[in-house]
Amino acid sequence: MVAFGLGGPAAAHAFMVPTPRPEPMQQRGAGAQLDGFIIPTPRPSPKLETATGTLFGVVMPSPRPSLRGQPAPDLVPSPAPLQAASPVPSTADEPVVLAARAGLHGKSTRFVVELSDPIKVHIFTLANPDRLIIDMPQVLWKLNGPPRHGLGAIRTWRYGLFRPGNARFVLDLRKPIRLAEPLVLPPQDGYGYRLVLDMYPTSQKEFDKTAGWPADLRAREEAAAMLASMAPPPVITPQPRAARRRKVIVIDPGHGGIDSGTIGVTGLEEKNVVLAVGLKLAKILRARGYKVFMTRTTDVFVPLYQRAPFAMRHHADLMISLHANSNPDPRIDGASIYTLSEKGSNKEAAALARKENRSDIVAGIDLPKDDSSVASILIDLAQRNTMNQSISFAHTALHQLAKVTDILHPDPVRSANFVVLRSPVVPSVLIEMGYLSNPYDCHQMATSVWRNRVAKAIADAVDRHFARPPGNTPIATRGRLRLKRPVE
């Protein structure tokens, strides 16, 4: 018998799990197979602790009825991995996630996480939209890339670094579920430690009763949000030209970590494209004498509510948020640039803002956000001329980008209510560098040649923006420049 902890926000208790048994990996008969599954190479693992020790620390908001003894599902491995643009530095002694797989058996859905070492995990659900969260310490990821679609109760699932020291899985649910007690299996037959979660259908009412953040994790997120909001607006005082400081540029590569953003037609992930361009842009700007800060320099998730305050905290003269777009119509292509407005300049702009503003939900953050301040922010923007500066840079950047890549026709300069642009004192733009849903755009974005050209074009726009006398705004590029040059 092996004991491990199971508790909620208010209490914790231990219960006994029968002697661990091998996870059923294959069944013969109709609808049961696991063709092509590669068993990981056996590796030394820590010895299983005695009944007085701990195998896994599993923390859940509330105990769930045990459903052990149910038939095991047919397990399906995830597809091939996608290479991250810049992996987060890790230590060799971190636990390793060896595999993750979802399976079906009748009305039940099973999700299995295989690890090299026992770790403490928090398992909880969030409603509206319905999600299952597996929160854990930072790990090394050795499993295959997240699938676009799940099975059974799982609509899709993703994984990644949530913040330094903290990783997680997020499973988007097609329907409300009742989660059985977690089953923990020790290393056996070439497999590592396995955390087995069985999900069964339930009503929305019953799901909502137990959904919600564990108290300790909610306190952690609220503390992070409070810390981010504590940055006061900088006091701007005129200085003699000779004494003026270097211009400060904040580069904000969108998404990251557990939030992949848009997945391109070739499997290219938005988070990797924008980080690669952001790092190139930062290098060019620093070489030209600018002081540059980045909201992220590795594949890590940064909550939306922390990005605009980051620019304010660093007294930025300009914030450039980098993204890649998508559209159901694969013919739509080209770059576009957004500034802040209370309402979208058109339906597509408004829809894009709603999608991007759900980035925190994608990563499993479910804290209430107050949008009532948007109108007052816009008033403040107008008073400080920040909005005009944002629009001015948007036109300048579009003019430079048109020299190296395709531009969205007919209205490439747009506005919408993006959370990331809500800074009353820092001119900010969001650049959608192209459409990952368009085969040509997606192909270009995967090449270093295109990324170098785009980074240089944005840097040239920064030079022109700060060299131009106030109020001298170039006319937006309305036509379409089709280079279609070979991509090396």
96-129 pLDDT tens trace? 999 999 999 888 999 999 999 999 999 999 998 8
Res 144 pLDDT > 90:
no
Structure tokens given for 298: 């590795």
Q: Which pLDDT band, with edges at 50, 70 and 90, does 361 fall under? A: low
pLDDT in tens, 274-295: 999 999 999 999 999 999 999 9
- Write down the pLDDT at residue 161: 87
Report the relative pairing of strands 291-294 and 248-253 from DSSP bridges: parallel
Residues counted in the chain? 488
Mean pLDDT across 429-451? 96
* DSSP-assigned letter for residue 68: T
27, 70 Cβ separation under 8 angstroms = no
Cross-strand partners of 45: none
Question: Exposure of 375 by Cβ count < 10 A (0-12 exposed, 13-18 middle, 19+ buried)?
Answer: exposed
Whose structure tokens read 């003019």?
A: 399
Query: Does the pLDDT at position 204 exceed 70?
Result: yes
- pLDDT band for 366, please (50, 70, 90 cuts): low
Instruction: Please tell me the distance from the alpha carbon of residue 288 to that of residue 292, in angstroms, as a whole number.
Output: 11
Copy the structure tokens of residue 321: 């948020």
Q: In this predicted structure, what is the pLDDT of residue 486?
A: 38
For range 265-271, the mean pLDDT: 93
- Map residue 161 onto helix, strand or coil: strand
The 3-state DSSP composition of the chain as helix, strand, coil percent (nearest 5) reads 25, 25, 50
Identify which has the larger pLDDT, 258 or 469: 258
Cβ contacts of 347 within 8 Å, gap of 6 or more = none
Whether cis (ω within 30° of 0) applies to the bond prior to 234 is no
> Among 320-334, 397-411, 460-474, which stretch is predicted with the lowest mean pLDDT?
460-474
| Contact call for residues 4 and 17 (beta carbons, < 8 A) | yes
Distance CA 271, CA 323 (A): 8
C-alpha–C-alpha distance, residues 429 and 309, integer Å: 15
* % of the chain exceeding 90 in pLDDT: 44
Nearest of 278, 254, 264, 261 to residue 440 by alpha carbon? 264
Its CATH class, for the domain covering 54-64+72-213, is mainly beta
Domain boundaries, the chain: 54-64+72-213, 239-467
381 versus 404: which is more confidently predicted? Answer: 404
Question: Where residue 376 falls among pLDDT bands split at 50, 70, 90?
Answer: low
Q: Quick one: 239-467 is in which CATH superfamily? A: Zn-dependent exopeptidases (3.40.630.40)
Most confident by average pLDDT, 28-37, 108-117, 160-169? 108-117
Highest mean pLDDT of the ranges 216-220, 322-326, 422-426: 322-326
Residue 445 pLDDT > 80, yes or no?
yes
Q: Report d(CA 407, CA 397) in Å as an integer.
A: 11
Mean pLDDT confidence for 81-92: 42
Which of residues 25 and 204 earns the better pLDDT score?
204
Sorting pLDDT into bands at 50, 70 and 90, what band is 245? confident
Write out pLDDT tens, residues 66-75: 333 444 444 4
401 pLDDT above the threshold of 60: yes
Residue 223 confidence (pLDDT): 72
Mean pLDDT of all residues belonging to the chain: 75
Least confident of 244-248, 328-332, 363-367, 394-398: 363-367
Return d(Cα 284, Cα 462) in angstroms, integer. Answer: 11
| pLDDT value of residue 346 | 65
Query: CA distances (Å), 468 to each of 34, 291, 462, 463, in order?
Result: 63, 19, 10, 9
As a whole number of angstroms, the distance between CA 250 and CA 309 comes to 11
54-64+72-213 shares its CATH topology with 239-467: no
Q: What tokens were used for 177?
A: 């579920």
For range 305-309, the mean pLDDT: 86
The pTM assigned to this predicted structure is 0.68
